[in-house]
Amino acid sequence: MGSPNIPLPTVKTRSLSCPNCGGTIQIRGFAHSLTAVCQNCLSVLDTSTPEVSIIQQIEAKLRRTPKVPLGSRGKLEGTTYEVIGFQTRGISVEGVLYEWDEYVIFNPYKGFLYITEYQGHWNIVRPVRALPQYQEGSKPKVIHDGRTYKHFQNATARTEFVLGEFPWRLKVGEEIKSDDYTSPPYVLSAETTADEVTWSLGEYVGGDLIWRTFQLKDKPPSPVGTYVNQPNPNAGKPSGAFRLLMLFLAGLLVLTAFFLVTARRENVFNERHHFAPADLGEKSFVTPIFELKGRTSNVVVETKTDAMNNWISLGYALINADTGTALNFAREISFYSDGSDTEGNRNDSTTIPSVPPGRYYLLVDPEGDAKLGSIEYDIIVRRDVPNVAFFLLAAFALLIPPLVIVWRTYHFEQVRWRESDYSSGSSSSGDDD
Amino acid sequence: MFRYPIYSLYAAMVFGTLGVAQWRGWSLNRVNEVKNVPRTIRDNPGSYRSHYGYYPGRYFGGK
């Protein structure tokens, strides 16, 4: 907490002359910088003593270009930091080398922070002072600052390239054992060397923040894949979506109740008929005219028979007596029983959609098997009957989005944990809401 | 609800479709519609049935 009235003293950097090429090396990290790399000849220098010595000569072919150039300055959380160091590290998994970049950023009053980048995924990393609490298990966990982190990956990271300054002794080829524990958007990393374990806490940030901070040109590279601590864009959404689903289902119940209560279910026609297939003569007939009132609505035609080990086929036509428009449909009704098992149904119901009001009659054309005897049947016509299937379809339709959200959440975690040491048991990915 | 605008819009469409379906009496069944069925045999000389038509599986109509 600095007072705005007291100006901070001007800080001057020191310069070194590269013992290899004579080039000038700016030391921005002051006495904190223990290693510096000449940008001209890629000599790794030990700057911890006044007598600067060459530790290593990096091959020119290993040179990488930092996405955030050394010397870039920008404000992070109100503090101006300068990029002073850059290294590329890599791990080899099943013969495949995965590389990421690390930047050292420095403020003379606040010290060091680190920025990492892997395939467009950026993290701002801070050293952790307190030792996290370790929990053994099939998937070990650590607790830090009240937050639980799940073990993600153990690997041996190798330094592939270095440039600029570092507050520790470093050279290409150096290896450390690294353990990552994730709790998006954070990742807790333990780096183990022969003599110490260093913990650091990374927080996932968008590349656009880095670009804005250091005023870089163009756009940051788009992230590829899912990163260890990348926040799940659907985290927390499934529970919210299911809460909303409950609300919608309640609304659906109200709507259902409204239509069930207000539907007229008007019985407009009811007539009993006898059908004897063996009889000679015309079997088809027309019913008396009946009136369908009200708005355009459905018409339910029910057929109730006394069929027993028998069948009847009914060709129906609902004909508007005024316009001559006919709506044709056919029904097959059969019922068989041997005393224990039954097959078929004696009764049938069919819904004719959107029938305008008017005067109608039915043309009925029955058919049957003359050897199987006669059948008595009732024809019942009802108007404006609520269709329960639509309510069930609506409930199912409302369920689809929450299921999609759950799948997307789960899939995101699956992709994340596929890259971990626990990829075969990706079901243990857990919810990182 | 505001956190899920697409889902809310989708649900509104489901409710709207359901309301229209119930109000207009939609059905999953399909019937074959025939226009201008002859009303009497006088409108349809040569036939003794009142209209020609087809429904699945069977033909019924004039002879």
pLDDT score for B40: 60
The CA distances from residue A399 to A201, A391, A403, A406, in Å, are: 39, 12, 6, 11
pLDDT of residue A79 exceeding 50? yes
Say how far residue A278 (Cα) sits from the centre of its chain. Answer: 66
- Which pTM value belongs to this model? 0.76
Q: Does the domain formed by A264-385 have CATH 3.30.930.10?
A: no
A240 interaction partners in chain B (CB closer than 8 Å): 3-4
User: B15: which chain A residues are within 8 Å (Cβ-Cβ)?
Assistant: 251-252, 255, 394
- The nearest CA of chain B is from the CA of A328 a distance in Å of 5
DSSP per position, A161-177 = EEEEEESS---TT-EEE
Give the C-alpha separation, A118 to A131, whole Å: 26
Contact residues for A47 (Cβ-Cβ < 8 A; gap 6+): A16, A27, A33, A34, A35, A36, A165
The residues spanned by each domain of chain A are: 14-213, 237-259+390-429, 264-385
- The pLDDT, as a whole number, for residue B45 is 57
Amino acid (one-letter) located at A74: G
pLDDT mean over A397-411: 96
pLDDT in tens, A204-250: 999 999 999 999 999 999 999 999 999 999 988 999 999 999 999 99
Q: Which of B22, B49, B54 is opposite residue A387, by nearest beta carbon?
A: B22
Taking alpha carbons only, the member of A355, A347, A411 closest to residue A379 is A347
Residues sharing a CB contact under 8 Å with residue A424, sequence separation 6 or more, in sequence order: none
Please tell me the predicted confidence (pLDDT) of residue B18.
94
Rounded Cα distance, A123 and A109, in Å: 22
Res. A92: pLDDT tops 50:
yes
Query: Which of A166, A225, A159 shows the shortest CA–CA distance to A191?
Result: A159
Q: From chain B, which residues contact A within 8 Å (Cβ)?
A: 1, 3-4, 6-8, 10-11, 14-15, 17-19, 21-29, 31-39, 49-51, 53-58, 60
For A418, counting Cβ atoms within 10 Å of its Cβ (0-12 exposed, 13-18 middle, 19+ buried), the class is: middle
Q: How far apart are CA A16 and CA A45, in angstroms?
A: 10
CB contact under 8 A, B51 and A317: yes
Mean of the pLDDT values across residues A42-61? 87
How high does pLDDT run on average in chain A?
Answer: 91
Do the interacting molecules here have an ipTM over 0.85? no
Sign of CA dihedral B43, B45, B48, B51: negative
CA atoms within 13 A on the CB side of B43: 10
